Structure 1
Amino acid sequence: MPSLFKRSLLPKLRSFPLSAEAVSILSGAAEFRRCLLEKIAGATQRIYIVALYLQQDEAGQEILDALHAAKLARPELDVVVVVDWLRAQRGLIGAGKQPGNAAWYQEMTRTHASEVPVYGVPVQTRELFGVLHLKGFVIDDCVIYSGASLNNVYLHKFDKYRYDRYHLLHNRALADSMQHLVQHGLVASKAVHRLDLPNLPTTRSLRGDIGDLRSRLKHAAYDTTAGTQEKTGLTVSPLLGVGKNNPLSRVICELIASAQDQLTICTPYFNLPLAVTREINRALARGVKIDIVVGDKTANDFYIPPSEPFKVISALPYLYEISLRRFAKRHQSHIDKGQLNLHLWRDGDNTYHLKGMWVDQRYTLLTGNNLNPRAFRLDLENALLIDDPQSELVGPRRNELAEIFQHTRRIERFQDLETLVEYPAGVAKFLKRVSRVRIERLLYRML
């Protein structure tokens, strides 16, 4: 269809040809953990791990031990771990003062004969204003793409899991492109330092280098010169974005604008940017059927049961529910017709972390982007766009969506969602205060 955008990016994207046999979709977090450990153990050329964090817990220890074992067995192996600089130097939210994961990285390097460098990338001088939110592990010629970070719950080490998407793409050109960005766009920067070595520089001392890195990243892109602009067969395009009006955010809006029949969106935190809301409204107006899958507030990773002491962070799931209720109320007529379907995901005490989009029978977007203002303006994000004009992946795509919908219920009326008077006392009191001083809108932009 003709583009609705004056400077459309979608038709101009260069992409790598992909075979249907080269794409696998894993069914859950436990399988993701087993696959990751298996791939690390069998690596012969390179292992590039990029995540928001690699946590000091049993699952994190298992991953880091596996990386050291692989390096010890094959010293020529190129092993690199990249995490967010600021996140690695603080403890868990609400857990009091802790040394952070950096101290653990240093102890692992000190006590192992092998060397696994862990680099910290400072996207901003304060975590609130932007973090490294890139996804994708490169192991030899395979890209393992998921929104998950690395800890017990994301890897389903014990009884609880955090549900995400898990894709394997065997494609050397894609793997080379993603490694090249990490190696030359991140690790080579003066702002990036190894967290596994002692005597870390202060963030304040890096302010100039951090500003330079962020400026460069705003104009950076994955190297797709080995790709093609042909759109006749199955392809994959890597996308990068940070800052206002970045290419990834623009492509997300263009994908929604391109939908003619059906659009499915997953996001764990319902707080859509204005540009996304606008394109969803336009899609509804032209008759597109839209399914949006979000986590129930109790399946949010910030949720704290009412039986536990109130913490400010525990108000976030309720803020997202308020946003969802407003959206549902505005579109109740579309919900009544079955054109708009809002689905709440919940499976016991487990949590929900899915992101991404499915557009008609053609496009599938794999991303860690939460489709919120923070992702569109502050964090460093990426995505893989699979273009399937011949419907070669229709079976795996259908199966993945069936698994996602397995633990969902449809919102029939906006009144199905709770209101402020039904919230726990501590949450209600905080949200009333926030609304009274009019900082609610600022919170939606930052969180």
Structure 2
Amino acid sequence: MNTVLTFLEKHFMPVANKIGSQRHLLAIRNGLISIMPLTIVGSIFAIFLNIPISGYDELIAPIRPALDIPFRFTIGVMGLYAAFAVAHYLGSSYKVDPLSAGLLGTLGYLISVVNPIQLTKDVGGMSAGRYMSIGDISSTSLFGAIVAALISVEIYRFFIQHKITIKLPDSVPPAVLKSFEALIPAFVIMVLFWGLRYGLKFDINSAITALVLPLKSLLVGNSLIGGLITIFLIQLFWSFGIHGENVLGPILRPMWDAAILENMDVFAKTGNAHNLPNLFTEQFFQWFVQVGGSGTTIALAILFLTSRSKFVKQMGGLTIVPGVFNISEPLVFGTPIVMNPILIIPFIVAPMVLTIVSYIATATGLVPMMMAKLPFTLFGPLGALLSTNWSIPAAILNVVNILIALVIYYPFFKIFEKQQLANEAKELEEEAQKQENDGVVGVEN
């Protein structure tokens, strides 16, 4: 085991660290994380639009269109927010004006994905004119938003760094100066994306989505193999003290976000959480697999509370409360599990077993799929309940998975406890010997 850990640490981790710190991937990760409050708020409204209480639908029927507005202007236009956020963070990393970068990224995105509808006469209460479909800037164009934002910022950076800008006197206010600096890049970005979309008839979003679709289908679709690969890599990184979700986030998060947003959109139309497009969303791992934090470590915290070892029992008391709210770092780094040949095994194996169990429960229809994105610090069963449209079996599965993890962790916990008891006994023996020696020295003096 030590040989394997040494090999991975030497050859695998440096590559992973480079990927995780790459400028564009970091901008994607940080940009999508920054819009999380909007997806959470949109999810809350989606949940309360579908409370499974008899007569509830009839009660809210008169105001349902109004109640749907928050969902439509959060989840429904997520591509718009993503384009600005990703461009903003990439601009910041290049030390160019992040506001201008965000605006230009949004410009490139809108031109490349939106196809305005022309009404030549009044139709269904809509006056003649040009209209933009909200569907064009929804989660379906998320990949197009990311690519358009990255390209736009690279163009903006090129012009700024090569000083190809409109020069103004230093006495001009900074806000005006930055606006004029962005003028030439804005024109180039507009012409580029306009020419691609309307001159060459090239749809960036469709092309990128087609390229990413096979990987998305494997990792966040309905493939058990893809789900196991995902959770294995996350746990492997954590085993070396590296935040697994952060390292893989630049690759996984766009697909995870697209998957849950797609689920939410379908659920908003059908109200059926059992028949959604994507099973392996981030929320699936969050509420069914990584219960109590990465590695389902709440199970280990519970076992620690029963330990005869003073250190282990103290660790259990210190980490059980964070574990209830799905925060595993105190246990992962305090025990530590990191680079611990004994505890790494269940730390990786338990989530993989729970992935299989939860996949079977979902694929057979025992529990629904995920249709909401909620704060990860929610109490586990409650998070599972709300994220699956108030499914009680989902909350029960959350608890059952903790019990399964307890069984998997138990033998390794006993080995670890035995080691700690031996260390504590040795320390007590050394302390007693030291006191005895100090007593002898005192008598001689």
TM-score (norm 2): 0.25
Larger strand proportion of the pair? 1
Larger helix proportion of the pair? 2
Q: Which has the higher contact order (CA 8 A, sep 6+)?
A: 1
Larger radius of gyration: 2
